[in-house]
Amino acid sequence: MATYLTAQDVYLIHTQIALYMLTAEKKSLDLTQFEKTFKNLQNTALQWRRSKYEERAERLRRLRKWILNNRPEIQKAVFSDFRKSPEEVDISEIYPVTSELKHTLSHLKSWMKGKSLPTPMTMIGTKASVMMEPKGVSLIISPWNYPFNLAVGPLVSAIAAGCPVILKPSEMTPHTSEILQRMVSEVFEPHEVALFQGDTEVAKALLELPFDHIFFTGSPQVGKSVMKAASKNLTSVTLELGGKSPAFIQNGADLTDAADKIIVGKFLNCGQTCVAPDYILVHEQDKDAFLDNLKVGIQKFYDSKFEGIDKNPDYARIVNDKHFNRLVGLIENSIDQGAKVEFGGQMDPQQRYIEPTILSQVNLDMEVMQEEIFGPILPVITYDDLDQAIALVNSFPKPLALYYFGEDKSLRDKVLEETSSGNTVVNDCVIHFIHTEMPFGGVNNSGIGKAHGYFGFQAFSNEKGVLTQRVGVTSSKLINPPYNSKTRQAINLLLKWF
C-alpha cells in the first residue's frame, strides 16, 4: 500500500502545478465565451433533434470506453481530492456510471420510440401518441461529494435524450474536475459537450443563459437559487438536493444486521453522501444493544487489527478545511449541550480526518439536528412508540431517503404511509442509488424531478403529445357554430355520459 500512496503523492505534486497554471489562465476568461459556446450548442441541439438511436448510442459507447480505459486516472484524481481508496472509487464513482451506461444502451432504442395512447370514445377516428423529443441545450451543475459519479451520471441521461450539454463541476474537487475536463475534450466535440471550471461566479454567469433544462445536484439552499435563476427563462429543472434522511429501527429488529448496513451507508465517503442515514430512531428498549452493535461493527469494518481507523486506507477524508471545521463545530456543540460520545470523536486537522462518531442523548435543539450533517457523525435518538418517531420525522422537511429496519409488515406500512421521502429502502440503506430501474430523487425540499435510467432520459426529454386526425373528418360537430337547441341537447348528453 505504501507504493500506491507514494504514487499518489507524485501525482498530487504534478497536478497541483498544473492546477496553478490553469487557475491563472481562467482568471482572464472572457464571460462572452459562455455565450459563444451556448450558441454553438444551440445549433447542435437543432441537428440532434433528428438524431437516431445509433448516433446517440455511439456517443455513449465512446464515453463508456473512455471511462474503462482511464480507470486508474479517475482513481488517482478522486484520491487526490478525498484520499479515497481505489476500491471505493470503483464502487461509488465508476460503477454507478458504467452500469447506467450499460442499462441505457440496452434500452435506449425502446425509450426513443415513445408510445401510442388509447382513444376515448369522443375521439374515435383519431390516433394519439407521445413523441420523446430532446429538450435542447442543458446545463449540469454537479457537486463535490461524488464529483465523478454525479457529473457523468446526468450527462449519460442528457446524451441519451439527445441534448448537448454544458457541464459545471465543483471547484472544491479540482483534481476530479481536471479529469472530467480531459474526458469531455477527448470524447466529445466542443459543440456537443463543453465543460467550464470555476467558482460560484461561473455558475451564476451560466445560469443567466436561456437553457432548455438545468440539472443541479447540491444543497436545498443553493437549489432555491438555481430554481430562481431558471425561472427568469422558464427553464425546467431537475434538482437533486438532500436533507436529514432518517433510519427507523423497529422494536425487535435484527440489530446486528441493521447496524452493519447503517455503518456502511453512513461512513462511505466519510459520511459525505446525500442519501446517508443522517440520524437513527431506535426503540428505547433496543438502544443499548444497538449502540453495542454499532461499536462492534465500526471496529470490524475499519479497525479490525486495532491499529487506529486513521491508518485504514479504506476510510476517506473530509473534502476541505471549511467542511472539516463545520463538522468539528457540530460535535463540540453537541457535547456542550449534553450529548454523549458513544464511539469516536478523534480528529486530525492536518489530515482532515474525523473518526466515525456516534452520539447519544441528542436533542432536537442541537445544531447536529438542525442541519444536514454530511459527515461521519451519527446521532442516535430513542423513541417509546412509533407514532412519536413518525411525528419527529414529519417535523423536518421531507428527506431525500428514508430507511426502515424490521420485519413487521404492518409497522413498515405505517411508516411508509405516514411519512414522505424521495425514496424508501427497507432493511438496507443507500443501495437504491445504483438500482437502474428505480426513479431516484427527492420531494419538495429534498428535490424536484427524478433521475437514473428511463427517468433520467425522461428528465431531459419533452414528452410531446401528437394527435392525428383524418382529413375531412371532425370527431364532433359540437364545436362548430352556430349553436342551437340540438347542440344544447347533445352537450347535455355529452356531459352526462362521457
What are the DSSP calls for 10-35, one per residue?
A: HHHHHHHHHHHHHHHHHTT--THHHH
What are the DSSP calls for 392-428, one per residue?
A: HHHTSPPPSEEEEE-S-HHHHHHHHHH---SEEEES-
How is residue 350 written as a grid cell? 492536518
- Stronger pLDDT, 32 or 35, i.e. the higher one: 35
For the stretch 118-161, pLDDT in tens is 999 888 889 999 999 999 999 999 999 999 999 999 999 999 99
As a whole number of angstroms, the distance between CA 315 and CA 323 comes to 17
For residue 268, being part of any structural domain is answered with: yes
- Domain check: are 268 and 181 in the same one? no
Q: Is the pLDDT of residue 449 over 90?
A: yes
- Domain check: are 407 and 305 in the same one? yes
As a whole number of angstroms, the distance between CA 327 and CA 298 comes to 19
Q: Is the pLDDT of residue 6 over 90?
A: no
- Domain check: are 402 and 280 in the same one? yes
For residue 473, being part of any structural domain is answered with: no
pTM exceeds 0.85, yes or no = yes
**Contact criterion met (CB below 8 Å) for 184 and 197:** no
Rg (CA), the chain: 26
What is the per-residue pLDDT for 481? 86
- Domain check: are 287 and 353 in the same one? yes
For residue 258, being part of any structural domain is answered with: yes
**Contact criterion met (CB below 8 Å) for 442 and 400:** yes
**Contact criterion met (CB below 8 Å) for 128 and 466:** yes
- Domain check: are 102 and 128 in the same one? yes
CATH number for the domain harbouring residue 73: 3.40.605.10
For residue 378, being part of any structural domain is answered with: yes
**Across-strand partners of 423?**
401
What is the per-residue pLDDT for 329? 97
- Domain check: are 218 and 332 in the same one? no
240 among known catalytic residues: yes
For residue 423, being part of any structural domain is answered with: yes
Query: What's the length of the chain?
Result: 498
For residue 498, being part of any structural domain is answered with: no
Average the pLDDT over 433-459 and give the result. 97
**Across-strand partners of 214?**
139, 237
As a whole number of angstroms, the distance between CA 247 and CA 283 comes to 12
What is the per-residue pLDDT for 51? 96
Query: Residue 39's domain spans which residues?
Result: 31-240+451-461
What is the per-residue pLDDT for 20? 40
- Domain check: are 134 and 195 in the same one? yes
Selected catalytic residue, list 240, 342, 355, 372 = 240
**Contact criterion met (CB below 8 Å) for 275 and 96:** no
As a whole number of angstroms, the distance between CA 267 and CA 260 comes to 11
Q: Is the pLDDT of residue 103 over 90?
A: yes
- Domain check: are 251 and 236 in the same one? no
Q: Is the pLDDT of residue 394 over 70?
A: yes
Sign of the alpha-carbon torsion through 416, 419, 425, 427: negative
Nearest to 401 by CA among 262, 216, 259, 205: 262
CATH number for the domain harbouring residue 376: 3.40.309.10
For residue 6, being part of any structural domain is answered with: no
As a whole number of angstroms, the distance between CA 231 and CA 324 comes to 34
Nearest to 262 by CA among 356, 138, 363: 356
- Domain check: are 351 and 308 in the same one? yes
For the stretch 345-382, pLDDT in tens is 999 999 999 999 999 999 999 999 999 999 999 999 99
- Domain check: are 286 and 425 in the same one? yes
| Number of compact structural domains in the chain | 2
For residue 467, being part of any structural domain is answered with: no
Beta strands in 209-326 (DSSP E): 213-217, 236-240, 246-249, 279-283
Average the pLDDT over 317-345 and give the result. 97
What is the per-residue pLDDT for 478? 66
Q: What is the DSSP letter of 474?
A: -
- Domain check: are 88 and 197 in the same one? yes
- Stronger pLDDT, 196 or 14, i.e. the higher one: 196
Average the pLDDT over 445-455 and give the result. 97
For the stretch 185-200, pLDDT in tens is 999 999 999 999 999 9
What is the per-residue pLDDT for 123? 86
- Domain check: are 267 and 329 in the same one? yes
